Amino acid sequence: MSSAATRSPFVESQLAAPASPLPGAGVPWLDAARREHLAAFAEAGLPTKHVEAWKYTALRALAQRKFSTGDAQAAARAIDASAFALPGVDGPVLAFVNGVFRADLSQLAQLPDGLELRPMSQALREDPEPLRFTLSRYEPEKGDVFVRLNAALAGDGVLLKVVAGAKVAAPVHLLFIGAPAEGDVAWHLRHVIELGEGSELSLVEHHAASGDQRHLGTTCTDIVLREGAVLHHAAFQDAAPGAALIRRTKLHLGARSHATVHVVELGAALARHDLQAELVGNEARFDTRGVFLLHAKQHGDTQLAIRQQALNTTTDSVWRGVADERARGVFRGAVLVEPGADGSDCNVQNKNLLLSEQAEIDTKPELVIYADEVKAVHGATVGQLDERALFYLQSRGIPQAQARGVLTAAFCRTVLDDLPNAELRAYLGDRLVAQLPA
Amino acid sequence: MSSETNDSTATVLRDNAEVAEVLGRQYSAGFITQIETTGLPPGLNEETIRQLSAIKHEPEWMTEWRLSAYRHWLTMEEPKWAHLKLEPQDYQKISYYSAPKKKPKSLDEVDPAILDTYDKLGVPLHERAALAGVAVDAVFDSVSVVTTFRKQLADAGVLFCSMSSAIRDYPELVQKYLGSVVPPGDNFYAALNSAVFSDGSFVFIPKGVRCPMELSTYFRINAQNTGQFERTLIVAEAGSHVSYLEGCTAPKRDENQLHAAVVELVALEKAEIKYSTVQNWYPGDENGKGGVYNIVTKRGECRGDDSKITWTQVETGSAITWKYPSVILRGDRSVGEFHSVAVTHHYQQADTGTKMVHIGKDTKSKIISKGISAGKSNNSYRGLVEVKKSAAGARNYTSCDSLLIGKKCGAHTFPYMEVKNPTAVVEHEATTSKISDDQMFYCRSRGIREEDAVSMIVDGFCKQVFRELPMEFAVEAKKLMEVSLQGAIG
């Protein structure tokens, strides 16, 4: 708990008035909700390592830093949009620079049938009322102070809706660019995504940078899949080497819906991703594939938390981690099967490679099971490449260094195997390989 | 199993008179022994600790050691991280010392009521012990009642006595090792124990000696409103070997009794310590009333190179189990093992597991944990495997399996892996499942009764761990499992 006297420089800096007025400011219920969240954030302060969810991710350094609340110049910064195009991703684009929507970098003309897509800032200015329930909703998750901060200061984000039965073929590109600014900026985005009954959507979440900076970005994403909806979500995190990025993605899966999430984490000095899924409908299915590849002094922390609450739900998670140099990789894969959630099937597999004496991996696969008709399996390993595989390749005349490279690349690329978008799969695979030590 | 099958199973079970008898069978160690005891009134302050120390004729350094632990304890809070519903304790309501009034000088003088108690429990105190080949230190409430085979052991050079006598007779050894593995301020309960521990066992195996017999301690809480705070210290000098067994029971009482013990093991170069526990404290009744809170800090340190510590535990009793027997692998090439079966039924709660801390080079650890939950119980495995930067070539293998019997119980796994050395290999795997309908159908079609089939399947599930127990304990463990799981199906 922090009083005014003991607040960290970080918390103090976030209590300052926003650089430019937040979209939606002046709407009474929104002002009230934002004030409440900001007060709760100031009261709680940043979590210490004694908070279980932050045990392996120290925020001491962040707590000592100051960030301006938003970037007033974000709309004017020169950005070359073509630099951020992704192969195989040719649908609508919604782009943000330092947390501010940029119409000039976005591609929202001729949206496919059944797709509603616009920035939250626009909705807040035009007609905030439909967002009232979503944005004023109180979400007191223990230790989740960044959700508070986000709720208090996010003025923009993605509003996406696929109407029932619509199948949107072209992947939607959500682009978040960190651009160098006069000082360190903290930006916050709130995304609300809904897939109607029987609809289908392919989504690419892309974090990138137009130059090195040390901004802090937080995103809160809520994704709802109604009955029978199908979502392919690929998240490619390629933020600036100095950036701090704290994300929370929460999926709510209805009956017979199916979400597949692929995550590739390459950038940022501090990248924290809370990926949460609630399987509330019978026969919902949630598959995740993810990899982080860390070097220098990067700190990557993925917290996967799955709640299986209905009958015959299935989750399958395959995560890989590689830590080199002085990097530290953290993974938590928790599955909770609630009472009565019979027929639940869950599998979490986490494998990690440590490539250097100074690197560290902390992994925590958790199972909390309250139903007996379940099949729950998890496995986790930390180690090196398989010596036998290495020997095999060497015996075929491949030099050791190259053999290591091939095996490490294969180790990481596994998670992309079932990414349906072939061009994107190839691109992400190449980016992974490019970041591996030579 | 579908709910229809469940119902029909229940009907079959109710109709079967034999099964009804089995279902009715209860905690058999739940009797109360009527003997005169002396003790301290409930309450805890510096004065109680001084009195306790005075009753035990302890030297000044020991009193001071207790007091400093107590002062540290006052600054601490009860840990809340375990997956347990544990009401805060009132530490002023507990009596910190209870002892049989008559002080025995030899086994013949021990109060027959106490001998009778141990007889009922099947602890071999007399010559029967010789047949069983087990030397026993029996702890009744707070004090050690007898230690058998002291002379035979002394001939081999082995010191096996109560902690109280050790403090008097071998102060330099106790001073050297006590608190060296579990420091007095290690955690809330260890600090409390350090302040108020009443008795326990002390074992010292000198250099190169292979202890000629299995050593054993039997703990029993008898008096009302007492806590049992025993402290065990085992030191195995270079090249020595010892196998130690521990068993526990308590009478049935409606109140919860606290048992907060500390066990420290020190293995020097090439020494090996095997520590086995069969824990059968009173688990409370089928409505969750009463039962022992078993809150124990157990830790061993492989201090010398090539040393080995093995923990084997069968946890069937206690309303609450909070216990993580750990190994600090400091010596190069040292080995730590943990084999555990934890069974919970009715409203029992267990949060148990281990810590393996790899510090030395080429250290190895193995963790095999089997959790069985039935009734409305919750059973958690919580473990840490930590590989420090210095632990080149460290190797760990962990396997945790949970078996669920019934719809209202929970089985949970919380493994932590922290790896700081790139040459280490750490592996963890876990599964959670129930006894499958196929397995049951197969057994039933062969004419095996439902209860027997469950018992057989559970036995197979636990075999890997039972194999690690000394033979006489393995038999006891198997029986305890059967008793614990009675009425679990249906």
User: What's the confidence (pLDDT) of residue B120?
Assistant: 61
Q: Give the pLDDT confidence score for residue B30 in this predicted structure.
A: 65
Q: Is residue A7 over pLDDT 70?
A: yes
DSSP A335-367: EEE-TT-TTEEEEEEEEEEE-STT-EEEEEEEE
Segment A176-188 shows an average pLDDT of 96
SS3 label, residue B319: coil
Does residue B134 have a pLDDT over 80? no
Residue B10 pLDDT grade (very low, low, confident, very high; cuts 50, 70, 90): very low
What pLDDT does A186 receive? 96
Q: Is the pLDDT of residue A393 over 50?
A: yes
- pLDDT, tens only, B107-129: 566 666 666 665 665 555 544 44
Q: Can you tell me the mean pLDDT for B321-329?
A: 96
pLDDT at A59 over 90: yes
Q: Which residues of B touch A384 (CB under 8 A)?
A: 422-423, 425
- pLDDT of B353 over the 90 cut: yes
Partner-chain contact A364 B409, CB within 8 Å: no
Using CB atoms, which residue from A340, A362, A370 is nearest to B417? A362
Q: Which residue among A52, A363, A372 places its CB closest to the CB of B417? A: A363
Q: What is the mean pLDDT of residues A13-22?
A: 91
DSSP A147-213: HHHHHHH--B-EEEEE-TT-B--SPEEEEEEE---SS-EEEEEEEEEEE-TT-EEEEEEEEEESS--
Name the pTM for this structure: 0.88
Percent of chain B with pLDDT over 70: 78
To the nearest whole Å, the CA of B200 is away from the closest chain A CA by 34
With beta carbons less than 8 A apart as the criterion, state whether A118 and A108 touch: yes
Q: pLDDT at position B24, please?
A: 43
Token readout for A176 is 């978040």
Chain B contact probe: residue of A54, A345, A367 with most B CBs at under 10 A? A367
Tell me what percent of the residues of chain B surpass a pLDDT of 90. 47
Mean pLDDT of chain A: 94
pLDDT digits (tens, 9 = 90+) for A98-127: 999 999 999 999 999 999 999 999 999 999
Q: At what angle do helices B3-15 and B450-466 cross, to 10 degrees?
A: 100
Q: Which one is predicted more confidently, B467 or A235?
A: A235
State yes or no: pLDDT of A296 exceeds 50: yes
Spatial contact of B269 and B239, defined as CB atoms under 8 Å apart: yes
Percent of chain A residues past pLDDT 90, beyond the cut: 88
The better pLDDT of the pair A284, B213 is held by: A284
Of A249-258, B327-336, B371-380, the least confident: B371-380
Given this model, what pLDDT does residue B39 score? 73
Is A362 in contact with B428 (Cβ distance < 8 A)? no
Q: What pLDDT score does B223 carry?
A: 58
Between chains, do A384 and B426 touch, taking CB under 8 Å as contact? no
Q: What is the pLDDT of residue A418?
A: 93
Contact A372 B423 (CB under 8 A): no
Give the C-alpha separation, B236 to B368, whole Å.
24
**How confident is the model over B154-173, as a mean pLDDT?**
90
pLDDT digits (tens, 9 = 90+) for A60-101: 999 999 999 999 999 999 999 899 999 999 999 999 999 999
Chain A, 314 to 373: residues with Cβ < 8 Å from chain B are 339-340, 352, 354-357, 359-373
Per-residue pLDDT band at B477 (split at 50, 70, 90): confident
Of the given ranges (A136-145, A397-406, B20-29), which has the lowest mean pLDDT?
Answer: B20-29
- Does A5 score more than 90 pLDDT? no
Report chain B's mean pLDDT, rounded to a whole number.
Answer: 83
DSSP run (H or E) holding A225: strand A216-225
The SS3 of residue A219 is: strand
| CA B274, B177, B264, B104 torsion-angle sign | positive
Under the banding of pLDDT at 50, 70 and 90, the label for residue B467 is: confident
pLDDT band at A39 (very low <50, low <70, confident <90, very high): very high
Of the partner residues B83, B408, B422, the one whose CB lies closest to the CB of residue A357:
B422
Whole-complex ipTM = 0.89
| Positive/negative CA dihedral, B61, B63, B69, B74 | negative
Contacts of A352 in chain B (CB under 8 A): 419
Residue B259 · residue B248 · CB < 8 Å? yes
Q: How far is CA B334 from CA A257, B208, B296, B304, B327, in A?
A: 51, 17, 24, 8, 10
pLDDT of B324: 96
| B418 contacts in chain A (CB < 8 Å) | 56, 360-362
Tell me: pLDDT of A138 over 70: no
Residue-level pLDDT at B469: 81
pLDDT of residue B21 exceeding 50: no
Mean of pLDDT values over B191-218 = 89
Task: Tell me the pLDDT band of A3, cut-offs 50, 70 and 90.
Answer: low
Q: Average pLDDT of A215-242?
A: 97
DSSP B95: B
Say what the pLDDT of residue B140 is.
64
pLDDT of residue B215: 84
Residue A272 clears pLDDT 50, i.e. is over it:
yes
Quote the CA–CA distance of A321 and B28 in Å, as a whole number.
52
Residue type, A43: E
Question: Cβ A365–B407 below 8 Å, yes or no?
Answer: no
Does the pLDDT of residue B104 top 80, yes or no? Answer: no
pLDDT at A277 over 50: yes
pLDDT at residue B115, rounded to an integer: 63
DSSP state of A82: G
Q: Nearest C-alpha of chain A: how many angstroms from B353?
A: 14
Range A252-274 average pLDDT: 97
- pLDDT for residue A230: 98
Q: Is B451 helix (H, G, I), strand (E, B) or coil?
A: helix
- The pLDDT value recorded for residue B141 is 60
Give the nearest partner residue to A356 out of B407, B422, B434, using CB atoms: B422
What is the per-residue DSSP string for A362-413?
EEEEEEEE--SSEEEEEEEEEE---HHHHHHHHHTT--HHHHHHHHHHHHHH
